[in-house]
Amino acid sequence: MSFNKTVTLLCYLIIGIVGLLTNLFGLFKITTLKEFRHCFGYICICQLISNCLTLSIFLFWSCPCLIIFKDEVDLETINRIMGCFGILAWNLTMYSHIAASINRFVAMYIPTKYSRIFTNKTCIMIITAIWVLSFCHVIPYIFLDCIYKFSVQSLTWIFIFTTCTKILTSIDLYLSLSNICFSFFLDFLIFIKLGIQGKKSNGLRRTIAPSNIQSYNNTTSTKKPNGPNKKTRTKSVYNNRIRFFFQSFMQNILIGIELVCFHIICYNVEGKLLSMLFSSGAWALCHTIDGFILCVFNKEIRNSFFKIFGCKK
């Protein structure tokens, strides 16, 4: 096995194993914890499924191909099928992130109507739309001459540039960039809302005089002291919104970087290894880090992860 093949194989193995274990752990926790039995949780499940699917393709197809085949993959039909799964997984990621951004936007700007908007029926429609739209991107690769497959010679996943593929890759790039810009716009509006809420909360605390607090305590000494509990709950909700914002924002940045690497940088570098790193390597790493971000920014999953290694929360 050549040096380039060995390096590529090690990259795919390390990224694939670490990423798949991370995403499988997140998927297991998010499907078993009752805290995620809502629309945002189901959208996160779609993200984790797409991550697991992509990393499984690298581990169980790309790596064996690098070991078994010398120049080209003989199993052309299976190779193209795996390419279709890769296209499906990428678009699942894109539409899941858009749905997550919209979900967080509604939660921030119209929280009183959130439960009426994101009912079980609406949630089913959203999840169905994510999968149907993602599958629509795969149809040309099944019935037309569009081909996306793994190339042992190039050490990476490649498009066979027919007329169909040229059109679809352009559509994929500009549609993905549009989706990312839309998600960033929603994140910007959420950031403004979080800032306004934070200022209001700080201003309210500064305007409460000690005498008013003492007067309040004297007049409510016989009542159940639910004020601090309410304050704690409000702070917890605000902190959750901040965490969800940073989760969505960092994931969108990650996808934006991956798009630039996959569609632009990889065509402007020399050498197979650099081309691999900025195309398929960046693609696999994107799904690995995406799952890691989701696990880190959800304390229920993060605490479970720490317990495995005997660490404190």
Amino acid at 99: A
Q: Give whichever of 46-60, 61-75, 97-111 has the largest mean pLDDT.
A: 46-60
Residue 238 sits at the vertex; the CA angle it makes with 235 and 240, to the nearest 5 degrees, is 110
Higher pLDDT, 115 or 53: 53
Look-up of token digits 């005498």: 211
Task: Say what the pLDDT of residue 285 is.
Answer: 94
The predicted model gives 117-129 an average pLDDT of 94
pLDDT of 78 > 70? The answer is: yes
Under 8 Å between Cβ of 173 and 259: yes
pLDDT of 131 > 90? The answer is: yes
Q: Which burial class, exposed, middle or buried, applies to 21 when counting CB atoms under 10 A from its CB (0-12, 13-18, 19+)?
A: middle
Choose among 251, 311, 313, 312: nearest CA to 286: 251
The predicted model gives 99-106 an average pLDDT of 90
Q: How confident is the model at residue 301 (pLDDT cuts 50, 70, 90)?
A: confident
CATH 1.20.1070.10 corresponds to the domain 3-208+229-308 = yes
**How far is C-alpha 158 from the geometric centre of its chain's CA atoms?**
23
Tokens read off for 43 = 């959208």
Higher pLDDT, 275 or 196: 275
**Lowest-pLDDT choice from 66-70, 173-177, 234-238:** 234-238
Task: Find the largest Cα–Cα distance for the chain.
Answer: 84
Q: Can you say whether the dihedral through the CA atoms of 113, 114, 115, 118 is positive or negative?
A: positive
The whole-chain average pLDDT of the chain stands at 84
Under 8 Å between Cβ of 281 and 15: yes
Summarised one tens digit per residue, pLDDT across range 215-269 is 444 444 444 445 555 555 556 666 777 777 788 888 889 988 998 898 888 888 8
Higher pLDDT, 32 or 222: 32
Under 8 Å between Cβ of 92 and 49: yes
